[in-house]
Amino acid sequence: MPFYQSSRKLNKPSGYLNVTVSLDTSGKYLASILTEIEGENPAVSTEGKVIGIDLGLTHFAITSDGSKVSKYDNPRYLTKHEKNLKRQQQKLAKKQKGSNSRNQAKKLVAKVYERVSKSRQDFLQHKLSRKLVNENQVVVVENLNVKGMVRNHNLAKAISDVGWGTFTNFLAYKLEIKGGKLVEIDRWFPSSKLCSNCDYQADKLPLDVREWTCPNCGTRHDRDGNAATNIRNEGIRMLQTDGTAVSEERRGSKTKAWTQVRSEAFPHDVRSPHYNRFDLVWVVHTC
């Protein structure tokens, strides 16, 4: 069977632990190869730039370095692939059940879907995570419990499609190789409702409110940028509480941030359950 594409090159693997072969819906075989890589990662250092990321639905990611907010969206070519996917899905819906042409249309939809997922993964996950890890030593994200949200929420499709979980995985292993740190903050942390300037906490902030003014200090907030700044601040506070040296300061906040204590511990270790740096995937032609 000839190799069709490798998603990652093997860097001097010292041993192969396991190979799993599976067949996907578009008729391709996938071989997942679990391997160990020689060499040790550098010691973790949190001395350097800290960035907070708010993962959203209107934008894929909003980042804050404390003073500057950046927003990252789906690239245009991705929208083009997605339109094609919709077209093929509509064609499929018109085919008669059990017919040959329906089966073929099904395979085509699976192929286009795969192309969409790969483009999204390549742009948002590989390129964006690489850029953020190159530019920062500490990356702070919310622990979103994506699985729980996908099960319980009507935004399930949008959430699965944007691939937050995979994005966090990419950040984690890239940071580990660099000796940086991924900090995951409690998913109940009210990142949107806190004022990043004075720590006033709003009671409610419905999803359609994109901008708001803090009634305590009068600061005008962009909803997402404010949330990203709060996430960054909370990450720095957690590192400092742990006694970890952090060279960057929290910005804006004058008082101690969120003090509400929940029964669950803050899950912020870099080795979160969805973390797996050794998973390598090959796509192989079937015929």
Q: Which residues bind Zn ion (CB under 5 A)?
A: 195, 197-198, 200, 214, 216-217, 219
Q: Which residue out of 65, 82, 142, 184 is catalytically annotated? A: 142
Amino acid at 113: Y
Residue closer to Zn ion, measured from CB, 52 or 180: 52
Minimum distance from CB of 201 to Zn ion (Å)?
10
Residue closer to Zn ion, measured from CB, 34 or 198: 198
Is 114 a residue of the active site?
A: no
Is 184 a residue of the active site?
A: no
Residue closer to Zn ion, measured from CB, 198 or 284: 198
Minimum distance from CB of 260 to Zn ion (Å)?
18
**Which residues face 35 on adjacent strands?**
16
Residue closer to Zn ion, measured from CB, 32 or 201: 201
DSSP state of 193: T
Minimum distance from CB of 132 to Zn ion (Å)?
27
Q: Which residue out of 82, 199, 224, 248 is catalytically annotated? A: 224
Minimum distance from CB of 248 to Zn ion (Å)?
21
Is 54 a residue of the active site?
A: yes
Q: Are 266 and 238 in contact (CB under 8 A)?
A: yes
Nearest residue to 138 (alpha-carbon basis) of 177, 186, 180: 180
48: Cβ contacts below 8 Å, ≥ 6 apart: 136, 137, 138, 180, 247, 248
Q: Are 26 and 111 in contact (CB under 8 A)?
A: yes
Residue 262 Cα distances to 174, 213, 254, 270, 287, angstroms: 30, 28, 23, 21, 55
User: Residue 92: which H helix or E strand, with range?
Assistant: helix 76-94
Give the residue numbers marked as catalytic. Answer: 54, 142, 224
